[in-house]
Amino acid sequence: MQELEKIVGEWLALPDVAELLNLQLRKVHGLLSDHQIVEARVGENNIRAVPAAFIQDGEVVDSLPGTISVLLDSGFQDDEIIRWLFTPDESLPGTPIEALRQGRKTEIRRRAQAMAW
């Protein structure tokens, strides 16, 4: 898991996610249950955390939930989804999460769908 922690960089504990989204903690748990966002256990204390890049301007990145859904349908687990979103791709350039944050949803979804084949 240390590799995943490094490629993501900045993580947010669930209470911090709740604060940034202006939600109650139970609503953040709902976002996780509904796969609107995904989490990993990180750090020495193995806390549940979400990549900080999933939050933009006080909201979940608009196209993230649909992209997560496509990857789940392809058989990805939460940690694999995070790894895929944060792995640099020279053909983008950058990472899929950076592209999503820039509004390049179609390109990333197409790539995610191709992973299923």
pTM over 0.85: yes
* Annotated domain spans of the chain: 1-115
* pLDDT in the model for residue 116: 66
User: pLDDT (tens digit, 9 = 90+) per residue, 76-104?
Assistant: 999 999 999 999 988 888 999 999 999 99
Does the pLDDT value for residue 2 go beyond 90?
Answer: no
Q: Give 31-72 pLDDT, tens digit per residue.
A: 999 999 999 999 889 999 999 999 999 999 999 999 999 999
Per-residue pLDDT averaged across 24-32, rounded?
97
Nearest CA to 51 out of 84, 102, 10 is that of 10
